[in-house]
Chain A
Amino acid sequence: MKTYHLAPWARARQERFGLLFYDTRSTTMTFVRSGDRLVAPPFDDRAVPLRVVTRSPAEELRVIRVLDGLEAKGLVVAAEPE
């Protein structure tokens, strides 16, 4: 599975519903209802990848779709596994 990092201009924080993303280029927010399936990196260490916590392959597919959507919006950057 690919790993996903925050884009350099993106911020994310954990909320009860999931993740709240913020784009520093446009000051826009993006709400992602991911529950505890996606874990944001520490606010002061954005080099840490987003952590995916899923309980089934179907759930993993859904989360990956969300991550791909976030990548299309420029909020996360995907890296292929080495």
Chain B
Amino acid sequence: MPQNLSSERLGAPVNVTWEITDHCNLGCRHCLSADLRRESGGELDRERCETLIDELAALQVFQINFGGGEPFLRPDFMDILRYAQTKGIVTCVSTNGTMLTPELVDELVGMELLFLQVSLDGAQAATNDAIRGEGTFERILEGVSLLSRRSFPDLSLNMVVTSVNFEEIGEFHRLADSFGARTRLSRFRPSGDGSRMWEQYRLSRDQLAWLSGFLGENPGILTGDSFFSLTNADRQTQGLRTCGAARMTCAVGPDGSVFPCAFLCDPAFLAGNVVEESLGAIFENALIMRTLRDLEVEPCQTCDRFSLCNGGCPAVAYFVTDSLGLPDPECLRVAIPGPGIPGPGIPAPGTPVAEHLSAPERAEVA
């Protein structure tokens, strides 16, 4: 029996990230989709989108994470969103918030099975605007205010944690709370334009170590499991302890191209296209999907934290080291070195990881 059920091979993705448009009205400096959008061969039309949603429903995919570009720039996006919801699929929309109007918010408030994640990259205007563009802080918060005033129930504010906004994490948490929104912290990865900003935006070892402790002390903060490589003892029963790429998730580009995850939308990881082949077949059979599912990060296997992170994020390892088989360069053992010398909140070697059938594990997938 496997030690960790979340490492089990699944019959289909649990959630699919769908970059549904290549259009965006902002030019964020760390945009993970920048390359994908530049290289995209157009967008799937609405009919093709509905066909894909039908297929996802048949595969029993629980959740679609819509992103882009900016999804609300797409004129037929609300129709596509509604169509997915009629199939019983939970929809999560990642938006920059600048397209929200009172009329649109009224429509969104009436929707079931909808989570909204608004991106904001700092608690101060100057910090956010340096990343997302001049004047965006104010425009984003206008959209957030509309949602808050209409009591939109499932709202989160998402900050990609970088060296630029790191000092504002606490203030960001309070800001989100003031709007009745949950705080979501996402990991900065060297994907898309993030690769160009990597050296400037990446966190230091001390910052990684502090963040690990902070997340452990604040279990209510959402992370989309993106910080599993930093998971400490306080958070180890919450969420995944392994990379979900090609196992639980995959990503679809605006033109239907399929990749193992939203952070591996690089030509080297192209698995297929839903216009030519079913997503289920691509997920199951594509060589790159199988490669990632079978990936073993050899150097990590003697680490005392291996059962907690399984080598970390392959996307970061690949884009930083040019290899899939090397450890995540931002793992907690890098931040707090010394196998056998546990840092704060890190279980000692040999500490069993709780895993029971009758106490099923939980993982956040939004």
**Would A22 and B10 count as touching, CB distance under 8 A?**
no
Determine whether B11 belongs to the interface, using a CB cutoff of 8 Å to chain A.
yes
Determine whether B123 belongs to the interface, using a CB cutoff of 8 Å to chain A.
no
Given A30-B361, A69-B360, decide whether A17 and B11 contact each other with a Cβ distance below 8 A: no
**Would B10 and A29 count as touching, CB distance under 8 A?**
no
Given A11-B88, A33-B1, decide whether A27 and B364 contact each other with a Cβ distance below 8 A: yes
**Would B88 and A31 count as touching, CB distance under 8 A?**
no
**Would A27 and B365 count as touching, CB distance under 8 A?**
yes
Determine whether A24 belongs to the interface, using a CB cutoff of 8 Å to chain B.
yes
Given A15-B10, A17-B5, decide whether A24 and B90 contact each other with a Cβ distance below 8 A: yes
Distance A43 CA – B366 CA, assembled complex (angstroms): 20
The dominant DSSP class at the B interface is loop
Interface residues of B in 320-366 (CB under 8 A from A): 357-366
Q: Closest approach, in angstroms, between the C-beta of B17 and any C-beta of chain A?
A: 13
Q: Provide the residues of chain A in CB contact with B8, threshold 8 Å.
A: 15-17, 31
Interface residues on A, range: 20 to 34
**Would A28 and B365 count as touching, CB distance under 8 A?**
yes
Determine whether A65 belongs to the interface, using a CB cutoff of 8 Å to chain B.
yes
- B residues lining the A interface (CB < 8 Å): 1-2, 5-6, 8-12, 14, 57, 60, 62-63, 88, 90, 92, 113, 115, 357-366
Most buried by B among A16, A31, A32, A69: A31
Distance A26 CA – B361 CA, assembled complex (angstroms): 14
Determine whether A51 belongs to the interface, using a CB cutoff of 8 Å to chain B.
no
Q: Closest approach, in angstroms, between the C-beta of B176 and any C-beta of chain A?
A: 17
**Would B5 and A27 count as touching, CB distance under 8 A?**
no
Given A17-B2, A43-B57, decide whether A27 and B90 contact each other with a Cβ distance below 8 A: yes
Q: Closest approach, in angstroms, between the C-beta of B36 and any C-beta of chain A?
A: 24
Distance A33 CA – B361 CA, assembled complex (angstroms): 10
| Smallest CB gap from B112: residue in A | A24
**Would A30 and B14 count as touching, CB distance under 8 A?**
no
**Would B358 and A66 count as touching, CB distance under 8 A?**
yes
**Would B362 and A28 count as touching, CB distance under 8 A?**
yes
Q: Provide the residues of chain B in CB contact with A22, threshold 8 Å.
A: 14, 62-63, 90, 365
**Would B357 and A27 count as touching, CB distance under 8 A?**
no
Interface residues of A in 21-67 (CB under 8 A from B): 21-22, 24, 26-34, 43-44, 65-66
| Smallest CB gap from B12: residue in A | A13
| Smallest CB gap from A11: residue in B | B62
Distance A34 CA – B14 CA, assembled complex (angstroms): 18
**Would B357 and A34 count as touching, CB distance under 8 A?**
yes
Determine whether A77 belongs to the interface, using a CB cutoff of 8 Å to chain B.
no
**Would A20 and B10 count as touching, CB distance under 8 A?**
yes
**Would A30 and B365 count as touching, CB distance under 8 A?**
no
Distance A20 CA – B360 CA, assembled complex (angstroms): 10
Q: Provide the residues of chain A in CB contact with B11, threshold 8 Å.
A: 13-16
Q: Closest approach, in angstroms, between the C-beta of A11 and any C-beta of chain B?
A: 5
Distance A33 CA – B1 CA, assembled complex (angstroms): 9
Distance A44 CA – B362 CA, assembled complex (angstroms): 23
Distance A42 CA – B8 CA, assembled complex (angstroms): 22
Q: Closest approach, in angstroms, between the C-beta of A39 and any C-beta of chain B?
A: 14
6 contacts between A and B (CB under 8 A): A17-B2, A17-B5, A22-B63, A29-B62, A69-B359, A70-B360
